[in-house]
A and B are shown apart, each in its own frame.
Chain A
Amino acid sequence: MRSRYLATVAVALLAGGLAACSGSDDKGADAAADKGGPIAVNASDTGCEVGVTDVDAGTVQFKITNKGAKVTEFYVYAAGDRVMGEVENIVPGLSRDLHVELPAGTYETACKPGMIGKGIRGPLKVNGSAAPLTEDAALKDATDSYSRYVKSQTDALLTKTQEFVDAVKAGDVAKAKTLFPVARTYWERIEPVAEIFGDLDPKIDGREEVVEEGMKFTGFHAIERDLWKTGDISKSGPMADELMVNVKEIVAKANAEKLSPLQLANGAKELLDEVATGKITGEEDRYSHTDLWDFNANVEGSKAAISALRPALEQRNADLVKQLDTEFANVDSALSKHRNGDGWKFHNELSQDDLKALSDAINALAEPISKVAAVVAG
């Protein structure tokens, strides 16, 4: 664990501004602040109807109903896909609430049926006046913004890991195989936070070769091996329970953390390093070959960290932000060639040329991302 760069637990910055009221499923006090009740969002597999797209600044409440057949997500994005608020894992037939504090400005709403891709976007205008953030405030805000992201991801991680664990314990190999890359998506998006907790990370996500002689191989990848290599999960139940315990523990710890802006910058870079060393090569998910799910989640996590820093970066180096936008778009476009339905092709279905193109796109993005830390620190 490096002491100054990532793994050190940051001295929590004072929470300021936007975090206070956002979050999903809040009940009570906040609702009183909303004008005219929640904005209805009708999400389906092909549409995302937002009842009102012109609102006043302040706390805005959405009520998202999933009328489609796919699990969906709902986001409110500021410029550069900076997440102002989101609800993950809205299963078909259910409604979820989102409260989000929005300063004046232009935003986008998005539903993500199947939980992947850019989603079905729509404009959202927020009226009123808002003073621009000072540079320091922008950095503090980055910390809060990323904390919201971690909260939403960990909520979904708990839910999806539980579903995965339940499927394993029920002996449902097919269902467990389907859920494996989905649960891992939430994990991979916030891996830099998880890695702070040195001993839990290998227990949850350790690969077979990292396990010392005489030690037990546990976690996602041990279950992955059982699912794909032997297809026998009759004895995997205790391991699945243990995974759930460890995930719960790391989620509690992760939500108690606040990453410093410098840690966010380094985390964004490290997520791409993960892609470059583990996912491109197919080492990460060597039994299931679901590496592209992790690949995409790492990129999304990297983008979330950069998005949180975006207002500060815009003030300090707008050209770098443009370059990052371009390179993120290039990665997305390179990756989108390998989309398969709601998921991705398997790693062993990609040619060497495909992998080279992805590797080049990641390197092209990682280079400008490696400059973000110095901009933040400067």
Chain B
Amino acid sequence: MGITRRKAMTIAGVGVAGIAGAAAGATAVLAADSEPTVPVSAASGAVPFHGDHQAGIVTPAQDRLHFVAFDVVTKDRDRLVSMLQDWTAAAARMTQGQDAGTIGAVNGIPEAPPDDTGEALDLPPAGLTLTIGFGPTLFRDASGVDRFGIAAKRPAALEELPKFPADALQPEISGGDLCVQACANDPQVAVHAIRNLARIGMGVVSVRWSQLGFGRTSSTSRDQVTPRNLFGFKDGTANLKAEDTALLDEHLWARAADGASWMDGGSYLVARKIRMTIETWDRTSLGEQEEIVGRAKGSGAPLGHQNEFDELDFTIKGPEGEPAIADVAHVKLAHHSQNSGARILRRGYNFVDGSDGLGRLNAGLFFISFQRDAHKQFVPIQLNLARHDVMNEYIRHVSSALFACPPGVKDGGDYWGRELFS
């Protein structure tokens, strides 16, 4: 199998080379049940690639993100399928800490470019997950053409998202035929993965837009401390979590009975780049910030409540008899009790894309959510927020995308999208 990245781990005495080391790391990730912070050894280990569901959804959210959306530039269905097979093989390797190709970054003949770009040499798997999604435009283009003979398989849940009030979407960073979400605890590992997939896909796909993220803004597991977004507030306290298996079955995983058998065990991904005008937020008083969010900034406890994880009680009154959590507080507007029971699994990241030329950081939240049907879950919640959330004065949705993430790759003979294209 050639020299792999895990050589470095061996040298450092951290683990054994080969699959065994990767598997040990994976165990560490999944077993980190009592520590509030994920220990370094777990953070650097590998997450299994094969399974019923794709990794990177209920996997405890890693610290870094590189998200990419592609346009498919070929008209040849066979080339597309072949690339998906190549991607799957490369993803299986990279998530286990190996080079993208079987030869490796430095083992090939001098005359050929390496089949791995090399910047992850010496780096551990770092919890890398790669999650693929198929966009509405893969099925039919803007003029309605069935591009790859799969239009009939497009699920109703993959209808384009509606326009929400105050959306300021930039088409060049919205949509896409395919997406890959790369999450890892080392940014270079995530970037390496996307870079190699983009390279493998040359001629078949073209990068439409991509986004780096840092500092996960949601917990997807009860073992994780709730992180903070760039407003300085804990985010994702009331998120769907890996442990809520009954809720996940109801709200997260699509089923064949929902209408598309190839999506059985998959989930729908919504990505929204949300620019925060952090400069104006930062000169807003603490009291107003907390009222807008509906939580105490320090503890994360809902206003009028004691602890972060207290169940939200909207009947609790404040000192002057007003609701402790305002009717237009973000936590209330987004709460499932206000949205016909709709819940989502959020998996967003902070971003700072340099500055905007006006002396301000171009910063915000790259929102990602997974759900069984975005139109029944994300859409009503976002409509409620777009209409009433006072936080809208401090945010702007600048991109939007929806993807159908198929179920997990079962084994070495399976590939991303097999059931869609077979």
Interface set of A (CB-CB < 8 Å, partner B): 1-6, 207, 209-213, 266, 269, 273, 276-277, 280-281, 352, 355-356, 359-360, 363, 366-367, 369-370, 373-374
Contact of B326 among A3, A6, A213, A352 (CB under 8 A): A3
- Main SS at interface, chain A: helix
Other A-B pairs beyond A213-B163, A273-B277, 5, CB < 8 Å: A212-B165, A273-B393, A280-B358, A355-B358, A363-B360
Q: Which interface class (under 10, 10 to 19, 20 to 34, 35 or more) fits B?
A: 20 to 34
Contact in complex: A276, B291 (CB < 8 Å): no
A369 CA to B279 CA in the complex, in Å? 13
Interface residue? B158 (CB, 8 A): no
- Chain B 160-188 interface residues, beta-carbon cutoff 8 Å to A: 162-163, 165-168
Contact in complex: A363, B390 (CB < 8 Å): no
Query: Looking at A2, A207, A213, A370, which has the most chain B CB atoms within 10 Å of its CB?
Result: A2
A277 CA to B358 CA in the complex, in Å? 11
Chain B's closest residue to A361 (CB) is B359
Residues of B within 8 A of A367 (CB): 283
Contact in complex: B166, A209 (CB < 8 Å): yes
Contact in complex: A209, B167 (CB < 8 Å): yes
Interface residue? B414 (CB, 8 A): no
Residues of A within 8 A of B390 (CB): 1-2
Contact in complex: A359, B163 (CB < 8 Å): no
A253 CA to B88 CA in the complex, in Å? 63
Contact in complex: B163, A276 (CB < 8 Å): no
Chain B's closest residue to A5 (CB) is B288
A138 CA to B285 CA in the complex, in Å? 23
Contact in complex: A266, B285 (CB < 8 Å): yes
A127 CA to B127 CA in the complex, in Å? 79
Interface residue? B141 (CB, 8 A): no
Contact of B283 among A211, A355, A356, A370 (CB under 8 A): A370
A277 CA to B276 CA in the complex, in Å? 10
Contact in complex: A366, B283 (CB < 8 Å): yes
Residues of A within 8 A of B165 (CB): 209-212
Chain B's closest residue to A265 (CB) is B285
A2 CA to B162 CA in the complex, in Å? 28
Residues of A within 8 A of B353 (CB): none
Chain B's nearest CB lies how many Å from the CB of A278? Answer: 10
Residues of B within 8 A of A4 (CB): 287-288, 291
Residues of A within 8 A of B360 (CB): 359, 363
A152 CA to B277 CA in the complex, in Å? 33
**If A211-B165, A280-B358, A363-B359 touch, does A373 touch B285 (CB 8 Å cutoff)?**
yes
Chain B's closest residue to A364 (CB) is B359
Contact in complex: A1, B285 (CB < 8 Å): no
Residues of B within 8 A of A213 (CB): 162-163
Interface residue? B143 (CB, 8 A): no
Could you show 25 A-B contacts with beta carbons less than 8 Å apart?
A1-B390, A2-B292, A3-B291, A4-B291, A5-B287, A5-B288, A5-B291, A210-B166, A211-B165, A213-B162, A266-B285, A269-B283, A273-B277, A273-B280, A273-B283, A276-B277, A276-B279, A276-B280, A277-B277, A277-B393, A355-B358, A356-B358, A363-B359, A367-B283, A370-B283
Interface residue? B315 (CB, 8 A): no
Residues of A within 8 A of B277 (CB): 273, 276-277
Contact of A363 among B167, B279, B284, B291 (CB under 8 A): B279
Interface residue? B250 (CB, 8 A): no
Interface residue? B263 (CB, 8 A): no
Residues of B within 8 A of A210 (CB): 165-166
Residues of B within 8 A of A359 (CB): 358-360
Chain B's nearest CB lies how many Å from the CB of A365? Answer: 11
Contact of A212 among B279, B283, B284, B387 (CB under 8 A): B387
Chain B's nearest CB lies how many Å from the CB of A167? Answer: 30
Nearest 5 A/B pairs, CB to CB: A370-B283, A359-B358, A273-B280, A5-B288, A210-B166
Chain B's closest residue to A6 (CB) is B288
Residues of B within 8 A of A6 (CB): 288
Chain A's closest residue to B318 (CB) is A3
Kindly supply a per-residue 1/0 record for chain B positions 376-388, scoring 1 wherever the CB is within 8 Å of any chain A CB and 0 otherwise.
0000000000010
Kindly supply a per-residue 1/0 record for chain B positions 284-304, scoring 1 wherever the CB is within 8 Å of any chain A CB and 0 otherwise.
110110011000000000000
Interface residue? B322 (CB, 8 A): yes
A269 CA to B357 CA in the complex, in Å? 22
Chain A's nearest CB lies how many Å from the CB of B364? Answer: 13
Residues of A within 8 A of B163 (CB): 213
**If A269-B283, A366-B283, A373-B285 touch, does A3 touch B322 (CB 8 Å cutoff)?**
yes
Residues of A within 8 A of B357 (CB): 352, 355-356
Chain B's nearest CB lies how many Å from the CB of A85? Answer: 32
A355 CA to B357 CA in the complex, in Å? 9
Chain A's closest residue to B396 (CB) is A277
Residues of B within 8 A of A356 (CB): 357-359
Chain B's nearest CB lies how many Å from the CB of A327? Answer: 13
Interface residue? B328 (CB, 8 A): yes
Chain B's nearest CB lies how many Å from the CB of A339? Answer: 21
Chain B's closest residue to A283 (CB) is B168
Chain A's closest residue to B286 (CB) is A374
Residues of A within 8 A of B326 (CB): 2-3
Chain B's nearest CB lies how many Å from the CB of A287? Answer: 16
Residues of B within 8 A of A352 (CB): 357
- Chain B 245-266 interface residues, beta-carbon cutoff 8 Å to A: none
Query: Looking at B167, B291, B326, B358, which has the most chain A CB atoms within 10 Å of its CB?
Result: B358
- Chain B 361-413 interface residues, beta-carbon cutoff 8 Å to A: 387, 390, 393
Query: Looking at A5, A6, A211, which has the most chain B CB atoms within 10 Å of its CB?
Result: A5
Chain A's closest residue to B281 (CB) is A273
Residues of A within 8 A of B358 (CB): 280-281, 355-356, 359
**If A2-B288, A374-B285 touch, does A277 touch B359 (CB 8 Å cutoff)?**
no
Residues of B within 8 A of A276 (CB): 277, 279-280
Chain A's nearest CB lies how many Å from the CB of B278? Answer: 11
Residues of B within 8 A of A363 (CB): 279, 359-360
A198 CA to B393 CA in the complex, in Å? 13
Chain A's nearest CB lies how many Å from the CB of B323? Answer: 8
A367 CA to B360 CA in the complex, in Å? 14
Residues of B within 8 A of A374 (CB): 285
Chain A's closest residue to B167 (CB) is A209
Chain B's nearest CB lies how many Å from the CB of A222? Answer: 15
Residues of B within 8 A of A207 (CB): 166
Residues of B within 8 A of A273 (CB): 277, 280, 283, 393
Contact in complex: B292, A360 (CB < 8 Å): no
A211 CA to B163 CA in the complex, in Å? 10
Contact in complex: B167, A277 (CB < 8 Å): no
A369 CA to B282 CA in the complex, in Å? 12
A366 CA to B280 CA in the complex, in Å? 8
Chain B's nearest CB lies how many Å from the CB of A378? Answer: 12
